[in-house]
Chains A and B, each alone.
Chain A
């Protein structure tokens, strides 16, 4: 077997490659990839996911890029590797957002995902998959966002149940206020977010 190409940090200038228009490099790509997940025909409940990424000293990170990957409102992924049928064509399922250079906030306008089966057939709670890169992160961090108003589904979720220290599972629950969910990600320390090896 070949070995996987080793990861390296995305560095502080990751925006040049992943979000050039955000970095004020205009005229090369018409729009930054992953800027929008939805259009005006996308079915499902419209929500906003927003938050900040915080380092081990409590500092807000202002040079990260977050990518999101989630199912449509029926729980289907918009991917050729989705074997159960075609996802809604008005929903990409994938988004990319740089954290704001002043406030450190990231933000996705999306829809609430439907439920997706686990490997053994049990049904997972609604969730979004997140991937985080930045200066000082040598290999992209993988985590999941669950929803605070899905307590019943969260209680039976096979991934959340796998987290031995129950208090840590709470780090994956985004808090709802109106149509927005706040999901702050703590890279290190007391409230450290659960990251996955998947």
Chain B
């Protein structure tokens, strides 16, 4: 972890906008069976943001290896590459006020083209790809932009209902500037007919919220004769602007 370069403006240290927990999925959502015994039943307790909430770890670009963002090659043997539809997944990390979030660490993980994860607890019959590990990471640039190169993951069956299949998806973990912006989510692909059938996606009540998790085919940023591209922007909680208020946070 390194200190990120400071500009001549002090970073905004305001508190975060409240999370809209009707927009996010609820803890208890019995259509997704694993939530039933893992959902808190007592009310969450609220209190105003302190420095414990408005600060968070910072990551420097120098932590990254050359292939950290390239899942086609970062686990492959020399001269080989992962099997599957070659895609670029890219977008911006923004906050709720639409401001880009630079220096945000974005980590992803996914199954291979056949829907098989490289994990010892995974027993699906589709084979592993010897040239595909399934994880990557990147840090957003000064404009909040990130990009990965990967293969499109396959759908896979899971023990929930008797015949449930996850849509093709990529898991994402994002750090903002404060620890309470911490977010894990999943990216889905435009046009996938499994999306409306998925019990995990259906934990989200608002169809506009579901739509925000769907990456769109982005022909303009595809590479002809090489890779298609999908665009996926990520919105983190915004900070309240406090330009004239000298808060009591230890000043």
Chain A contacts for B204, CB-based, 8 A: 6, 8
Whether A81 and B13, one on each chain, are in contact in the complex, defined by CB atoms closer than 8 angstroms, is yes
Point out the residue from B45, B59, B122 that lies within 8 Å of A13, measured CB to CB.
B122
By beta carbon, the residue of chain B nearest A187 is: B38
Q: Is B58 an interface residue (CB 8 A)?
A: yes
- Give the size category of B's interface with A: 35 or more
Chain B positions 44-72 with a Cβ under 8 Å from a chain A Cβ: 44-59, 63, 65, 67-68
CB pairs A–B below 8 angstroms (28 shown): A1-B17, A3-B23, A5-B212, A6-B23, A8-B184, A8-B203, A9-B32, A13-B121, A15-B119, A16-B109, A16-B133, A17-B171, A28-B135, A57-B37, A77-B52, A79-B56, A83-B249, A94-B57, A121-B250, A136-B39, A138-B25, A159-B47, A188-B39, A192-B40, A194-B45, A196-B46, A198-B49, A198-B53
Whether A116 and B51, one on each chain, are in contact in the complex, defined by CB atoms closer than 8 angstroms, is yes
The total of interchain contacts (Cβ-Cβ below 8 angstroms) comes to 295
Whether B94 and A2, one on each chain, are in contact in the complex, defined by CB atoms closer than 8 angstroms, is yes
Task: Give, as a whole number of angstroms, the nearest-CB distance from B194 to chain A.
Answer: 15
Interface residues of B (CB under 8 A from A): 1, 3-4, 6, 10-11, 13, 15, 17-21, 23-27, 29, 32, 34-42, 44-59, 63, 65, 67-68, 74-75, 94-98, 105, 107-110, 117-122, 133-135, 137, 171, 173, 177-180, 182-186, 200-201, 203-204, 208-210, 212-213, 234-238, 247-251
Interface residues of A (CB under 8 A from B): 1-18, 20, 23-25, 27-30, 33, 55-57, 59, 61, 63, 67, 69, 71, 77-84, 92-94, 101, 116-121, 124, 127, 129, 131, 133-142, 144, 158-159, 162-163, 168, 187-189, 192-198
